[in-house]
Structure 1
Amino acid sequence: MLLRTSPTSPFVRKVRLAAAVLGIPLELEVADTLDPNDTLRQQNPLGKIPLLITDDGEAVYDSRVIIAYLDQLAGGGQLVPNAPKARIDVLRAEALADGMMDAGVLLLYEGRFRPQEKFEKAWLDHQSAKVERALAYLEAHPLPEHEQINVADISLACALGFFDFRFEGKWREGHPGLVAWQTRFAARCPSFEETAPRL
């Protein structure tokens, strides 16, 4: 299967980690989301990555849907538990980590697409507050560490890795529990280092 990627996207990293945990090989092909001539826009009308092209030629997007598809291919119930309570707990934690990444991407794009004199402070503060609240919640309510890595673990690891990469790891101050959690995750999942973003 083919994964349309970017070497810096935390959501691409999330899919790559999920595939590695499941033992599913993926071929990687870089996509240019800003190039109207890239076939990405025909494969996904939103022109977003990650995007998976299955062996049957079907386009699957976004990261949550791709991971659900990969989990199903692997027999189901591995990254997303089948038991109702455990399933909701994991999916809720995934949504929180994904929301942190979404807010971080919006902060990044404010600097990428606007000159500094046109930055909207209220917007930046709004997005930053989302990240700060999520970090505080996760510091106070750490993810349970099960023997099997799940999609919540993967999402949180990618979120923290994204803030290390794009925001100089400033999240680490005041969050020793999350720092320790990330260290343990990296030791459990060698693919975390292998999928680290590169400029």
Structure 2
Amino acid sequence: MRLHGTVTSPFVRRVRVVAQELGLSLEWVDTTTPEGQASLQRLSPLRKVPVLEVDGVGVLDSHAICDLLLAREAGEAGDFRRPRAATQIAEGNVIHAIDGAAEAAIRLFYFRRDAVDSEAIPYMRLERERVARALAWLDERVRGPWCTEVDGFGLAELAVVTAVEWMQFRAVAAMEPYPRLLALVAAHAERPSLRGTRPPGM
């Protein structure tokens, strides 16, 4: 299986973390290279990362990729908490909220990188508000280092850590108003799979 992506993408990093937690080795395709871009375009009409190539077919979304890896490796995953029916709604809501914030923050980052005044565009002002609302909502709901009523590091915690660390790295959102989220991120910072996938400078 070949994973297409960039080392800085929070969504790609989630897949890399899950693979490490499961003890899987994925061949890496760097999509910042011309060869990587050509392979990505062959597999995905969206040209978004991550894409996992499985038997010549692209799996086009980080959630689908993580679900596939967890299903294929149905045995032990160390202390990585697999999704459970009892926490499905809470975990799903956390993941969707942080994903919405991350996607909005990514758009803000690219506007800034391309020297576009996002504050002059009403939709982009809404995107900035969306980031703040989602982070505030999450900050009220996390329980110490966990995102649900069940202890353990799972997909929800992974989504929060990778998104928040990316927002800090790119300086797209002030994180000081969200001390519980910052504490959650700090609690997991030295987890080997997170430390091993953290881009230089993050």
Tell me the TM-score normalized by structure 1.
Answer: 0.85
Contact 1:18 1:67 in 2 (8 A): yes
Deviations 1:23-48 (CA, angstroms, capped at 9, x unpaired): 22212110149999622111111111
Q: Whole-Å Cα distance in 2 between the matches of residues 91 and 80 of structure 1?
A: 13
**What residue in structure 2 maps to residue 155 of structure 1?**
159
Report the CA distance between 1:154 and its aligned residue: 0.7
Evaluate the alpha carbon distance shift between residue 10 and residue 127 of structure 1 in structure 2; reply closer, same or farther with a 3 A threshold: same
**What residue in structure 2 maps to residue 41 of structure 1?**
41
**What residue in structure 2 maps to residue 186 of structure 1?**
189
1:130-169 equivalences under 5 Å are 130-142=130-142, 143-144=147-148, 146-167=150-171
Q: Whole-Å Cα distance in 1 between the matches of residues 141 and 84 of structure 2?
A: 22
RMSD: 2.7
The secondary structure found in structure 2 opposite 1:59 is strand
Evaluate the alpha carbon distance shift between residue 79 and residue 58 of structure 1 in structure 2; reply closer, same or farther with a 3 A threshold: farther
In structure 2, stretches of 5+ residues that fail to align are: none
Evaluate the alpha carbon distance shift between residue 147 and residue 33 of structure 1 in structure 2; reply closer, same or farther with a 3 A threshold: farther
The secondary structure found in structure 2 opposite 1:45 is coil
**What residue in structure 2 maps to residue 67 of structure 1?**
66
| Alignment size in residue pairs | 194
The secondary structure found in structure 2 opposite 1:170 is coil
Evaluate the alpha carbon distance shift between residue 89 and residue 80 of structure 1 in structure 2; reply closer, same or farther with a 3 A threshold: farther
Give me the identity figure in percent: 30
Q: Whole-Å Cα distance in 2 between the matches of residues 170 and 19 of structure 1?
A: 30
In structure 1, stretches of 5+ residues that fail to align are: none
Deviations 1:95-131 (CA, angstroms, capped at 9, x unpaired): 1111111011110121234x34686342332111111
